[in-house]
Amino acid sequence: AQKITQTQPGMFVQEKEAVTLDCTYDTSDPSYGLFWYKQPSSGEMIFLIYQGSYDQQNATEGRYSLNFQKARKSANLVISASQLGDSAMYFCAMRSLLTGGTSYGKLTFGQGTILTVHP
């Protein structure tokens, strides 16, 4: 079974500063993918960044970077230079990449973190 834990129900950050959203995971699968999604108040799920379990380097996408520490089973999201438009709920998710496994293709989500960016 897979489990994603986000321990920060809410986070606050000043505009233009960096913020780290925590995510830890648990899985017995040897191959998996980790995702971060942003969900603004409109409800749409916006894909931000992906990290494969065998990727050697941490993923980066513009102002988003994923601090992947495999031994600690953590996949924290770092948002640099926060903007007011970053205020939203953020979800960490994982999927098994083990073809044919019962969890293949299914995304398991964490509880989410509400990020508020102050001007």
Partner 1 sequence: GAVVSQHPSRVICKSGTSVKIECRSLDFQATTMFWYRQFPKKSLMLMATSNEGSKATYEQGVEKDKFLINHASLTLSTLTVTSAHPEDSSFYICSARVIDRAYEQYFGPGTRLTVT
User: Residue numbers of the site for partner 1 (CB under 8 A)?
Assistant: 33, 35, 37, 42-45, 47, 50, 52, 89, 91, 95, 97, 105-112, 114
3-state secondary structure of 99: coil
**Of 41, 32, 48, 44, nearest in space to 92 by CA:** 48
Q: Which is nearer to partner 1, 9 or 119 (CB)?
A: 9
CA distance 98 to 105: 9
Cβ at position 114, least distance to partner 1 in Å: 7
* Cα Rg of the chain, angstroms: 14
Cβ at position 106, least distance to partner 1 in Å: 6
Q: Which is nearer to partner 1, 77 or 95 (CB)?
A: 95
Residue 70 CB coordination number (10 Å): 12
Q: Which is nearer to partner 1, 78 or 114 (CB)?
A: 114
